[in-house]
Amino acid sequence: MKKIDRYILLKYLTTFFFCLILFTAIVVVVDISEKTDNFVKSGLSAYRIITDYYIGFIPRIDAMLFPLFVFISVIFFTSKMAGRSEVIAILSSGVSFRRFLLPYVVGGIFLSALLWAGYQYVVPRANQIWGNFEARYVDGPATVVNNNSTFKQNLHFKIDSNTYVGIRGYDTVLKSGNGFFIQRFAGNKLVYNLRAEQFNWDSTSRKWRLVDPVERYLDSISERVTKKPLLLANYNFKPRDLRKDDYFKDQLPTPELNDFIKLERLRGSEMLNTLLVERYNRDAIPVSVLILTIIGAVLASRKIRGGSGFHLAIGVIISVLYILFSRFSIVFATKGNFTPLLAAWTPNILFGILAFYLYKQAPK
């Protein structure tokens, strides 16, 4: 890379990280003002609040606003360069517009890779810290109508193509429940039934501990009943699979999320589309960083009356439109019949077309 490339790339990265730190500080201050009552009621020290909440909150909010920070940063420093006629000087020296965008592309790829790595492992861990605090101190006590309750009722799902599980009540904190039953079918005939009034997770053996289970084996002419005081059973679902709250899908690292999606697809779960949108978004959102980088560089490289203020206004409008497209796609996928893969990638496709159009129309 030439000196001018290093100059632009350094401007890009320093402006971005300054913007990231500044906006993070603002968001934290606003969040503190909103949650002061919750912090006081929790009785936690300042150190515990930082380690139990803000260690998770800051990476979560930074990842959420990462593309917006990139877009604003690119528009801001490029507009300043255009206002000082630096862009005109670079292009007048014989550098093509495509070559001028090279350091932007390099910086965009670097930040995209950084965000992608964060979404795979760092952000899920941060979401776990943040979500545990929210569930314990902010959402309030468990209630049957609260989707983030620690007590779940009337759970039904498949564990394979022929076997169904039902649970009357389950406490996700104590990892115990009641009203457990399993039914296995061969064709349309019931061949096996198990019922246990109480059950819990045995962390030592990593199996389910069923109290006073009753097993029934049925065939076309007879029925065999078996009763035991205790049964340790290994099923293909774990306590985390029963914790289907608003925070759960965000807290799984990508390899675990992939495994969980396979199980939910086998079980015919109603939340499958939500899980798929989350999985595809972890790849799609980092790509938006590169797309928004190109759009910002093309828009702000033209020297116009109004300077940075006009460029920033255009940037905010485009950012709002991107967020709206993204939200609408997710809603249509989770509540309607829109394909989750398209829901995650549609904003990138549309704004990728916009980036290409603006590039073709940019001054050469």
Q: What angle do CA 218, 220, 222 make, to 5 degrees?
A: 55
Position 140 scores a pLDDT of 55
What DSSP designation does 24 have? H
Of 172, 167, 202, which Cα lies nearest the Cα of 183?
167
pLDDT band at 246 (very low <50, low <70, confident <90, very high): low
Region of poorest pLDDT, from 142-146, 215-219, 307-311, 347-351: 142-146
101 φ, ψ to 5°?
A: -80, -10
Position 153 scores a pLDDT of 84
Position 179 scores a pLDDT of 93
For residues 207-219, one letter each, b for 16 or more C-beta atoms within 10 angstroms of the residue's C-beta and e for the rest, the string is: ebbbbebbbeebe
Entry pTM: 0.77
Tokens of 310: 């006009």
pLDDT band at 135 (very low <50, low <70, confident <90, very high): confident
Task: Give the Cβ contact number of residue 21 at 10 Å.
Answer: 12
pLDDT band at 145 (very low <50, low <70, confident <90, very high): very low
pLDDT at 234 over 80: yes
The top-scoring range by mean pLDDT among 108-122, 126-140, 162-176, 303-317 is: 108-122
Name the amino acid, one letter, at 121: Y
CA distance 285 to 271: 21
The domain spans of the chain are: 3-140+274-361, 161-244
| Per-residue pLDDT reduced to its tens digit, 177-205 | 999 999 999 888 899 999 999 999 998 88
CATH code given to domain 161-244: 2.30.30
Of 208, 196, 206, which Cα lies nearest the Cα of 166?
196
Position 102 scores a pLDDT of 93
Tokens of 168: 């009357």
